């Protein structure tokens, strides 16, 4: 049994914590394949502005999404710690560019609250699946399947196929 499956059985959730402009966010560990150091990203012609381009990962070509741009954050000043999180979104593997990846945490389900209704009024609010309390920290949990729409995934798969 995988660590994520064991955690789920015990009402625990494992999350990968990363930052964007100093704000802590996280993805469920089940959707994460690996974390890469920043590498050469090849731009795509006529791609949406939040698509940085594509990378070559072993024998595959993967699209890289700038979460900073997608969520409306200003550009990062210190690019030395940027990472690409390789994750599965629906049936497609993509890269998510973030400012920094800090840790994997195991959080009890009781410490995860649903996103407040007020967030749904904000443009980027519908990407939030909940908020995790870890000591004094509050970590925003992203719903990766809402960050990239099915239509956008279809367009990306046509470009990277």
- Give the CATH number, domain containing residue 74: 2.40.50.180
- The reported pTM is 0.85
> Rounded to whole angstroms, how far apart are CA atoms 132 and 27?
11
pLDDT band at residue 4 using 50, 70 and 90 as cut-offs: low
Tell whether 140 is covered by a domain.
no
Quick count: other Cβ atoms within 10 Å of Cβ 26? 27
Task: Let me know if residue 91 belongs to a domain.
Answer: yes
What tens digit of pLDDT does each residue of 94-119 get? Answer: 999 999 999 999 999 999 998 776 65
Confirm whether 94 is domain-assigned: yes
Is pLDDT above 70 for 63?
yes
Domain count, the chain: 1
Residue 134 lies in a domain: no
Residue 36 is assigned to a structural domain of this protein: yes
Please indicate, yes or no, if residue 120 is contained in any of the structural domains: no
Residue 101: domain span: 3-110+151-160
State the DSSP code for 30. G
CA 9/CA 61 separation, integer angstroms: 35
Is 132 part of any domain?
Answer: no
User: Which residue in 99, 125, 139, 148 sits closest to 13, CA to CA?
Assistant: 139
Angle at 112 between CA 108 and CA 118, to 5 degrees: 180
């Amino acid at each position: 049994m995988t660590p994520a499956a064991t955690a789920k059985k015990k009402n625990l959730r494992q999350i990968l914590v990363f930052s964007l402009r100093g704000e802590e966010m996280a993805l469920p560990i089940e959707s994460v394949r690996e974390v890469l150091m920043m590498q050469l990203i090849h731009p795509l012609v006529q791609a949406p502005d939040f698509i940085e381009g594509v990378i070559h990962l072993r024998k595959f070509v993967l699209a890289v999404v700038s979460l900073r741009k997608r969520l409306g954050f200003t550009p990062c000043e210190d690019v030395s710690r940027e990472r690409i999180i390789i994750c599965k979104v629906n049936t497609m593997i993509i890269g998510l560019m973030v400012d920094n990846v800090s840790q994997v945490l195991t959080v009890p389900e009781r410490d995860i609250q649903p996103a407040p209704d007020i967030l749904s009024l904000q443009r980027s609010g519908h990407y939030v699946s909940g908020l995790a309390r870890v000591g004094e920290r509050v970590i925003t949990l992203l719903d990766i399947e809402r960050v990239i729409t099915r239509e956008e995934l279809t367009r990306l798969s046509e470009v990277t196929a």
